[in-house]
Amino acid sequence: MTALTGTWNLDTTHSTIGFVVRHAMVSKVRGTFNDFNSTITVAENIADSKATATIQAASADTRNADRDAHLRTEDFFNTDAYPEITFTSTEVNVDASGNGTLTGDLTIKDTTKPVTLNVETFGVEEAPTGETRWGFEANTTIDRTEFGIDFNAPMNSGGVLLSKEIKVEIEGSAVKAD
C-alpha cells in the first residue's frame, strides 16, 4: 500500500459520482452529482484507512431540467430539508493494489444504512503538472426505498415507472494531499 498511503482528495473536475435507475421498465436513466467532495486517508495498516464524502443533493443532473427539478422535491431528495448526502467508511477490505471492498454508512434524507462499494484501482501516477493521482472505480447498488425515496407510478403493463434499485458508480481521480 506504500504508493497509496497518505491523504487523497477526490478531484471533482476529473471524477464522477453517478447513478443509474431503470425507467419505465425498458430503459435506464443516468445521472450525476455535480457538487461533491471526498477525502480518503490510506493508512499503513489498511484496516485503519478512512473515506468520507459529502454530496450536495440538489446538484443531481440527469440532463433534463424538469426531471432534475422533480428530484429536488419531497418525492425524491427533498433538498430543502436534506441538502446533503454523506458517506463515512466503517471497514476497508482491499488488497495491496487497492482492489476490494469499502463498507460504510450512507445517509440520504436523514436515513443511514450500511453499503459496500466494490473498488478497483487502476494505478497511481505522477501527472505532468506534478501532482500524484490515484485512479479508481467504485460501485454498489442500493434500494432507494430504504432511504425514504419511494415515489413511483404504475405502468399499464402492471409494472412501475422506476426501479427500487439504484446503481451508484464512482469514477475517481484523487490527488495526493500529503
Q: What residue segments make up the domains of the chain, in order of their start?
A: 6-176
CATH of domain 6-176: 2.40.128.110
Per-residue pLDDT of the chain (178 residues; tens, 9 = 90+): 578 899 999 999 999 999 999 888 888 999 999 999 999 999 999 899 999 999 999 999 999 999 999 999 999 999 999 999 999 999 999 988 889 999 999 999 999 999 999 999 999 999 999 999 999 999 999 999 999 999 988 888 888 888 899 999 999 999 999 7
pTM of the model: 0.94
Enter the DSSP assignment of 71. H
Burial class (CB within 10 angstroms; exposed 0-12, middle 13-18, buried 19+) of 81: exposed
Enter the DSSP assignment of 154. B
Rounded to an integer, what distance in angstroms lies between the CA atom of residue 56 and that of residue 138?
19
Rg from Cα positions in the chain? 17
Q: How far is CA 111 from CA 44, 62, 86, 95, 164, in A?
A: 32, 23, 10, 31, 16
